[in-house]
Amino acid sequence: MEGQGAEPQEKAKLKILLAEDDPINQKLFSYMLKEVAGQLLLASTGVEAVRLYKENTDVDLILMDLKMPEMDGHEATHLIRQMDKKVRIFALSAFAPETQSNFINENGFNHYVSKPIRKAELLKAIEKQF
Protein backbone atom coordinates (compact mmCIF):
# COMPACT_ATOMS: atom_id res chain seq x y z
CA MET A 1 0.00 0.00 0.00
CA GLU A 2 1.21 3.49 -0.75
CA GLY A 3 1.94 5.94 2.00
CA GLN A 4 3.01 3.37 4.57
CA GLY A 5 6.74 3.98 4.17
CA ALA A 6 9.41 1.87 2.62
CA GLU A 7 10.04 -1.64 3.81
CA PRO A 8 13.23 -1.97 5.82
CA GLN A 9 16.03 -3.01 3.50
CA GLU A 10 16.78 -6.70 3.83
CA LYS A 11 20.37 -7.58 4.73
CA ALA A 12 22.37 -9.52 2.21
CA LYS A 13 22.39 -13.23 2.92
CA LEU A 14 25.66 -14.77 4.01
CA LYS A 15 27.66 -17.59 2.51
CA ILE A 16 28.32 -19.86 5.50
CA LEU A 17 30.54 -22.91 5.82
CA LEU A 18 29.36 -25.25 8.56
CA ALA A 19 31.96 -27.77 9.72
CA GLU A 20 29.96 -30.22 11.86
CA ASP A 21 30.21 -34.01 11.84
CA ASP A 22 26.82 -34.79 13.42
CA PRO A 23 24.04 -35.05 10.77
CA ILE A 24 21.36 -34.06 13.30
CA ASN A 25 23.30 -30.91 14.23
CA GLN A 26 23.79 -30.17 10.51
CA LYS A 27 19.99 -30.21 10.05
CA LEU A 28 19.46 -28.13 13.17
CA PHE A 29 21.97 -25.49 12.02
CA SER A 30 20.44 -25.47 8.53
CA TYR A 31 17.08 -24.66 10.08
CA MET A 32 18.49 -22.03 12.47
CA LEU A 33 20.47 -20.26 9.75
CA LYS A 34 17.68 -20.06 7.13
CA GLU A 35 17.07 -16.35 7.64
CA VAL A 36 20.74 -15.31 7.38
CA ALA A 37 22.30 -17.88 5.05
CA GLY A 38 22.00 -17.42 1.32
CA GLN A 39 24.22 -20.45 0.83
CA LEU A 40 25.21 -23.09 3.38
CA LEU A 41 28.16 -25.37 2.66
CA LEU A 42 28.43 -28.50 4.81
CA ALA A 43 31.63 -30.24 5.88
CA SER A 44 31.66 -33.36 8.06
CA THR A 45 35.40 -33.34 8.82
CA GLY A 46 38.11 -30.77 9.32
CA VAL A 47 39.81 -31.97 6.13
CA GLU A 48 36.60 -31.37 4.20
CA ALA A 49 36.19 -27.92 5.80
CA VAL A 50 39.65 -26.85 4.65
CA ARG A 51 39.01 -28.22 1.15
CA LEU A 52 35.64 -26.46 0.90
CA TYR A 53 37.19 -23.19 2.06
CA LYS A 54 39.94 -23.46 -0.57
CA GLU A 55 37.19 -23.91 -3.19
CA ASN A 56 35.03 -21.11 -1.73
CA THR A 57 37.25 -18.30 -0.49
CA ASP A 58 34.29 -15.92 -0.66
CA VAL A 59 32.73 -17.54 2.43
CA ASP A 60 31.54 -14.91 4.91
CA LEU A 61 31.43 -17.07 8.03
CA ILE A 62 32.74 -20.45 9.15
CA LEU A 63 31.04 -22.30 12.00
CA MET A 64 33.71 -24.75 13.17
CA ASP A 65 32.97 -27.69 15.44
CA LEU A 66 36.06 -28.39 17.51
CA LYS A 67 35.70 -32.18 17.68
CA MET A 68 35.53 -33.82 14.26
CA PRO A 69 37.06 -36.90 12.65
CA GLU A 70 40.19 -36.81 10.45
CA MET A 71 41.16 -33.30 11.58
CA ASP A 72 39.74 -31.35 14.52
CA GLY A 73 38.43 -27.80 14.35
CA HIS A 74 41.56 -26.32 15.90
CA GLU A 75 43.83 -27.66 13.17
CA ALA A 76 41.34 -26.84 10.40
CA THR A 77 41.06 -23.26 11.70
CA HIS A 78 44.86 -22.97 11.84
CA LEU A 79 45.13 -24.06 8.18
CA ILE A 80 42.34 -21.70 7.09
CA ARG A 81 43.98 -18.82 8.99
CA GLN A 82 47.18 -19.45 7.00
CA MET A 83 45.12 -18.71 3.87
CA ASP A 84 42.93 -15.93 5.27
CA LYS A 85 43.38 -13.93 8.47
CA LYS A 86 40.11 -12.00 8.05
CA VAL A 87 37.39 -14.60 7.46
CA ARG A 88 35.14 -14.83 10.51
CA ILE A 89 35.28 -18.20 12.29
CA PHE A 90 33.06 -19.19 15.22
CA ALA A 91 34.16 -22.14 17.38
CA LEU A 92 31.38 -24.60 18.25
CA SER A 93 31.72 -26.93 21.20
CA ALA A 94 29.84 -28.51 24.08
CA PHE A 95 32.98 -28.07 26.18
CA ALA A 96 33.11 -24.44 27.27
CA PRO A 97 36.59 -23.01 27.79
CA GLU A 98 37.38 -21.51 31.17
CA THR A 99 37.84 -18.07 29.66
CA GLN A 100 36.25 -17.53 26.29
CA SER A 101 38.19 -14.39 25.39
CA ASN A 102 41.57 -16.09 25.92
CA PHE A 103 40.40 -19.16 24.03
CA ILE A 104 39.17 -17.08 21.08
CA ASN A 105 42.31 -14.94 20.89
CA GLU A 106 44.76 -17.82 21.27
CA ASN A 107 43.08 -20.09 18.72
CA GLY A 108 42.22 -17.79 15.82
CA PHE A 109 38.47 -17.65 16.36
CA ASN A 110 36.24 -14.58 16.24
CA HIS A 111 33.60 -15.95 18.58
CA TYR A 112 32.73 -19.02 20.65
CA VAL A 113 29.28 -20.64 20.59
CA SER A 114 28.56 -23.33 23.16
CA LYS A 115 26.38 -26.33 22.46
CA PRO A 116 23.52 -26.89 22.80
CA ILE A 117 23.07 -24.04 20.37
CA ARG A 118 20.33 -21.51 21.02
CA LYS A 119 19.04 -19.93 17.84
CA ALA A 120 18.60 -16.43 19.27
CA GLU A 121 22.14 -16.39 20.69
CA LEU A 122 23.64 -17.68 17.43
CA LEU A 123 21.81 -15.10 15.30
CA LYS A 124 22.74 -12.31 17.72
CA ALA A 125 26.42 -13.31 17.53
CA ILE A 126 26.26 -13.38 13.72
CA GLU A 127 24.53 -9.99 13.63
CA LYS A 128 27.30 -8.47 15.77
CA GLN A 129 29.92 -9.65 13.26
CA PHE A 130 28.04 -8.45 10.19
Spatial neighbors of 33 by CB under 8 A, at least 6 apart, are: 16, 18, 40, 122
Of the chain, the end-to-end C-alpha distance in Å amounts to 31
d(CA 43, CA 46): 7
pLDDT in tens, 107-122: 899 999 888 889 999 9
pLDDT in tens, 10-43: 578 999 999 999 999 999 999 999 999 999 999 9
Listed residue (10, 90, 80) closest to 47, CA to CA? 80
Let me know: does 71 contact 51? Beta carbons within 8 Å. no
pLDDT in tens, 26-35: 999 999 999 9
Residues paired with residue 48 on neighbouring β-strands, in sequence order: none
Domains of the chain: 14-129 (3.40.50.2300)
β-strands 88-93, 37-43: how paired? unpaired
pTM for this model (two decimals):
0.88
